[in-house]
Amino acid sequence: MVKLRLLVVDDSAMYRQALKGIVETIPGVECIGVACDGKEALEKILSEKPDVVTLDMEMPVMSGMDVIKAVTAKQLKTKLVIVSACSQSGAEVAINALKLGAYDFITKPNRLGGGGAKEDIRRQLVEKLEAMGNPMTAPLTNAVTMKDRLKNGLRLQDAALADVPVKKPLSSNVPTSKLSPSYSNNLPPKVIVMGCSTGGPKALLKLFTGLQAPLDVPVFIVQHMPPLFTQTLAKSIDEISAVSVKEAEDGDRPLPNHAYIAPGGRQMKLVQSDAGIEIKITDDEPDNFCKPSVDYFFSSVAELYESRALGVILSGMGSDGLEGLRKMKSHGVTVLGQDEESCVVYGMPRVAYEAGFVDKQLDIDEMASAITGALMPSTSHDEIKTRLS
């Protein structure tokens, strides 16, 4: 099979060589060259047409941000993976890069000394490369993960195709008899919960731009991101939405028209206290290899809100959220999923859809109006069907 072709771009000779060496250890990936500044990078992107570029942002002659703008303007198919410093300023640069069209980002340490730093970069890069191309978006339903297959020497494409066959998709509309009991009783959701990963920031920014009308319920978001980055993401979304958005803090009491993003590197759940429902931030172990985990959070929502929740599953790789949605659907909640065409990675929404847990798939441009409509009290199933049609 044809290997993924990757170009390394960094103004530091040390990082160029380090990244090149890391890439050469990843099965199924070929490093086709390096570039030391944005101008050279753009020239090689145009001439060599790599599948993937690892892109430094602060470079002479032409910055990484200018490269993103040029690639986006020319509608090139090359995917740009930003290499960002794990700092507040690095988080801001990465979020801005995602807004402009970058595919995703990885973080780099201040120092490359020791094997741990390089192994961490390799792990992050492997995770991003898993989602490249159609074979890489296949849901990982096996006990053996993609990471295990890569470690065992399988090429990326072969590893993806080794997945067990997925279930045949169900109809995009679940029969009205299976819609949320809360809807049939004229009781709208008390909470909106969202889960996403790769491509999630772009989807969230677009979705919240459309949520201009005040919401009578709180919103919770679990986005796979490292520490510092979720705080920056919350600030970016808050600036463009009528909904107040913040990174969740331990002990927060959920308020209507407020959105809470799970902090990177930690777990978030909802608990019942003497004062009412509140947010609990923990250092519990990863769930489904994720921290924060959609499954971890959705499970707490199923326990506390039962049928009075609205689930939303957006762009992301893998299957996180599947088990949480299973618990939520056991109470009859309605779930909206982002469709394949508007996803950066149609992984998490696909797994949920093929399991029969998504009532309606929607383009991300339609998601805000669907959410607003679902919050309105209804007197009949026919009205619910009309809103989700």
Residues taking part in catalysis? 197, 224, 320
3-state class percentages of the chain: helix first, strand second, coil last, to nearest 5:
40, 20, 40
* SS3 letters across 296-309: HHHHHHHHHHCCCE
Secondary structure class of 171 (helix, strand, coil): coil
| Polymer length in residues for the chain | 389
Q: State how far the Cα of 203 lies from the Cα of 221, in Å rounded to an integer.
A: 12
Q: State how far the Cα of 151 lies from the Cα of 157, in Å rounded to an integer.
A: 14
Enter the DSSP assignment of 166.
P
Q: State how far the Cα of 130 lies from the Cα of 347, in Å rounded to an integer.
A: 11
Cβ atoms of residues 230 and 262 within 8 Å: yes
Task: Compute φ and ψ for 90, nearest 5 degrees.
Answer: -65, -40
Four-CA torsion 165, 321, 282, 215, nearest 10 degrees: 170
